[in-house]
Structure 1
Amino acid sequence: MVSATKLEGGYCFHSKNSPLDQPEGVKIHLYRLGIEQHDALKSFAYAGQGSPSLLDTFILSQWENFAQKGHMGYDVTACELKVIEGQRDFVIQMNDKWNTFPLKKHDKFGHPFGCLKPNSAKSYEELLLCIAEGEDTEPEVVPSTTPPNNGVLLIANAYPVEYGHIFLVPNSTNQLSSFWDKRMFGLITKIASEVNSTAFRVFFDDGTSIVPKHMFFQACYFANPLPVESASTVALYDGATRSGICVSEIVDYPLKALVFTSTNVNALVDVVSEACLALHEKNTVHSLMMSNNGRNVFLFPQVKNLVTGCYLSAWECCGYFVYHTKVDFDRASETGISNRMASFSFQDGEFEDLKKLCCAIADDLVT
């Protein structure tokens, strides 16, 4: 579990007399990123013992405030967790109340906020804050303002998979209705860097959602590395000295995957965006997981399971599974989970083509 420290000074949070009650429309806190970190992604400033960043504290304080008001479907910190002992240490959670996709209830967030006039603040309790690019060197918090169309809305997930579970949704109709917005992916990457927490992970699914063609991300906090992060890798493209990006293959893992690594946000965004667009054009379902302050992006291409007709979520690709029944939870094994993951994995030939494509993209786009 990750703890949060309440901010003191000029940074205020929602109260019962929230500005959302004002008749002129929805107003929330706006966090503007500082421009000093726009090119280089941060390394970890602390490893669980130092002071958290302003944005990290801000997100968790708002999320905990939402939880304390009784809006959560359950206390996710009370759910039983178990590590499946074995080669990969898969993590499983017992949660019979988990809703696989509560964002479908929030169609109201698919429109620009300047024209929305809710009847009460309760209509938007799950809206925590907005994050956008800033123009100053240092980050700043602007209280009670209308979210800009070029920002990202942070929405609490009332049915969390883990602590601090949020949706990150572009605040613009044209952005929300498109599959991919490269500029918005860049902003998400900078947000991960700005949070500056070893526990923070960002997820993206294309083709696995029941709301197709909508671009949104999810994020939550994991106390320990996810199983895929501990897997061995083999370098496919090493451009660390020339281009600033490396492409590696995850090996000895039941689901074929690639990981892109860079400290340069522009290089990482360019290569990952082109790879995702190429997969999308081929109607290939895929998931992403971002970790290490945005410096590592894992790519999981998938094929449809012929038995269930479904796909893995991004956190399942990473080795974290939620079970709805105690029987399934108690029966879970490394072999069973590995076989399930393998049923979604690319064939060798298809994966070889993808590896070549990603290396070519890295070589062509990043100089």
Structure 2
Amino acid sequence: MMLRIKRVPTLVSNHQREEEEEKARRNGGGCGRNCLNKCCIQGARLPLYTFKSVNKNVNEKDLIGDEKKEPPVAFLDSLVLGEWEDRMQRGLFRYDVTACETKLNEGRHLKKRPTEFRVDKVLQPFDANKFNFTKVGQEEVLFQFGASDDDEANFFPYAPIDVGDSPSVVAINVSPIEYGHVLLIPRILDCLPQRIDRESFLLALHMAAEAGNPYFRLGYNSLGAFATINHLHFQAYYLAVPFPIEKAPTRRITTTDEGVKISELSNYPVRGLVFEGGNTLINLSNAVSDSCICLQDNNIPYNVLISDSGKLIFLFPQCYAEKQALGEVSPELLDTQVNPAVWEISGHMVLKRKQDYEEASEENAWRLLAEVSLSEERFQEVMGLIFEAIACKIDANGNTALGMGEKAEGESGTHPMMVPGKQECLALRSALAS
């Protein structure tokens, strides 16, 4: 049975509603929107930031290269946040997310945002007839992002777009849910569907490492777990408070031969896995991306949070959309219209109704997130699939078998996430939903 949930499409680009107009006015000389598609991209130039590819332990202080050499430009402050603010001043966003009401509420961050649209399967083929990021206007793109050819970080203000070697780009989300909300779109011209692969996930970790700030996180939603566009992309934004998930206690399960530590969340409403460490950044990336590929191949929706400058990664298999389609979610929760994706699961609750915002509580957030989580029995089955995919076996007693480097351990307590500043909880915010 194919499950479907009807939703209103979320607008991430100002050109999303202009597709019919584009067809009407296209005359072979470009669509007139200065987009990233073949009709307009020839001869286009965009800023380019190239990172130094590093192959060393991810727990070392500096992930982006030689500490003695300054980067060519302040990646987070100038390129991401600075250019994001430039687009805000130019009026490219649908509303001013910085002007929203804010309050604190026991560790959950709440905000009101536009409704998102339905998906029914984790893996679906790319459909060029639907909105995709090649239709984004070039003014919405902040810069191209990729590995350096000379093993040094570089910045080029006006770099040509290499159509033959599809560039990865960072673009604004015109319906932001937080300050600095951007999209990382790997190999944009290859028109990849929303599915993780090793190369794209490593690129996302490099972006987190280049930012070098624990308050800048990246998130990924699969189809079936409230991704809104079937074109491969990660989301990211800056929020200067710790997420509740980053302070949740964990139970160590095992450590791989490559040094990647894998733990299970405990005392948190959504069951999930935590990955950290590794002998190299690639080791950590491969462990997580192979786990994601396993979930995709088994049609299990999931969300990923990349935290602590790329050193800490949370993986959440989930089932909320399936429960919705099967009529197994209470009308009270359905009335909130909250779509629990990566940010909501991490503790940044995005609300749509003023009533829910005013009555927000940790208890209400916990009730919603509990519906997102797999049952304990199903979660154990899914963990077995994941560990088999990354050459790790679980025995009949739930213990990790030999071959992964380290036996399971007990409770590790609150995760040692090093986040400077206040530690009490997240801000609650109600954003305009125009």
Provide TM-score, normalisation by structure 2.
0.67
1:319 corresponding residue in structure 2: 347
Deviation at 1:39, TM superposition (A): 4.0
Q: Which amino acid aligns with 1:34?
A: K
Q: 2:133 aligns with which of 95, 109, 116?
A: 109
2:283 corresponding residue in structure 1: 267
What are the superposed Cα offsets for residues 277-317 of structure 1, whole Å, 9 maximum, x if unpaired?
Answer: 11112211100000111111100111123334985211011
Q: Which amino acid aligns with 1:193?
A: A
Q: 1:336 aligns with which of 364, 370, 376?
A: 364
Name structure 1 gaps, 5 residues minimum.
Answer: 1-17, 46-50, 112-117
Residues 1:133 and 2:147 are matched in the alignment: yes
Larger RCO: 1 or 2 (CA < 8 Å, sep 6+): 2
Q: Which amino acid aligns with 2:161?
A: P
What are the superposed Cα offsets for residues 258-288 of structure 1, whole Å, 9 maximum, x if unpaired?
Answer: 1111252111121111211111122111000
Q: What are the equivalent positions in structure 2 for 1:159-170 lying under 5 Å apart? A: 159-170=175-186
Deviation at 1:158, TM superposition (A): 1.5
Q: Which amino acid aligns with 2:368?
A: R
What are the superposed Cα offsets for residues 179-217 of structure 1, whole Å, 9 maximum, x if unpaired?
Answer: 233112111111111110121100001123465653210
1:291 corresponding residue in structure 2: 307
Residues 1:30 and 2:51 are matched in the alignment: no
Give the 3 Å change call, closer, same or farther, for CA 161–178 of structure 1 in structure 2: closer
Distance in 2 (alpha carbons) for counterparts of 1:217 and 1:210: 10
Q: 2:172 aligns with which of 130, 133, 156?
A: 156
1:255 corresponding residue in structure 2: 270
Distance in 1 (alpha carbons) for counterparts of 2:91 and 2:189: 30
SS in 2 for 1:159: coil
SS in 2 for 1:129: strand
2:419 corresponding residue in structure 1: none
* Contact 1:166–1:219 (8 Å) recurs in 2: yes
Give the 3 Å change call, closer, same or farther, for CA 366–237 of structure 1 in structure 2: closer
Give the 3 Å change call, closer, same or farther, for CA 144–108 of structure 1 in structure 2: farther
Distance in 2 (alpha carbons) for counterparts of 1:181 and 1:100: 24
Distance in 1 (alpha carbons) for counterparts of 2:41 and 2:359: 53
Identical-pair percentage: 28
Residues 1:176 and 2:166 are matched in the alignment: no
* Contact 1:154–1:166 (8 Å) recurs in 2: yes
Q: What are the equivalent positions in structure 2 for 1:46-195 lying under 5 Å apart? A: 54-57=74-77, 58-85=79-106, 89-93=107-111, 95=112, 98=114, 100=116, 107=131, 109-110=133-134, 123-148=137-162, 149-174=165-190, 176-177=192-193, 179-195=195-211
* Contact 1:42–1:293 (8 Å) recurs in 2: no
SS in 2 for 1:351: helix
Distance in 2 (alpha carbons) for counterparts of 1:105 and 1:317: 31
Distance in 2 (alpha carbons) for counterparts of 1:338 and 1:38: 39
* Contact 2:295–2:301 (8 Å) recurs in 1: yes
Deviation at 1:245, TM superposition (A): 0.3
What are the superposed Cα offsets for residues 13-68 of structure 1, whole Å, 9 maximum, x if unpaired?
Answer: xxxxx9x9x99543100101113x244447566xxxxx997211211111111011
Deviates more, 1:215-224 or 1:147-156: 147-156
Aligned residue pairs, count: 324
Deviation at 1:357, TM superposition (A): 3.7
SS in 2 for 1:176: coil
Provide TM-score, normalisation by structure 1.
0.79
* Contact 1:42–1:193 (8 Å) recurs in 2: no
Give the 3 Å change call, closer, same or farther, for CA 23–334 of structure 1 in structure 2: closer
Distance in 1 (alpha carbons) for counterparts of 2:129 and 2:95: 18
Q: Which amino acid aligns with 2:366?
A: S
Q: Which amino acid aligns with 1:90?
A: R
Q: Which amino acid aligns with 2:171?
A: I
2:261 corresponding residue in structure 1: 246
Give the 3 Å change call, closer, same or farther, for CA 23–215 of structure 1 in structure 2: closer
Residues 1:226 and 2:226 are matched in the alignment: no
1:277 corresponding residue in structure 2: 293
Deviates more, 1:229-238 or 1:349-358: 349-358
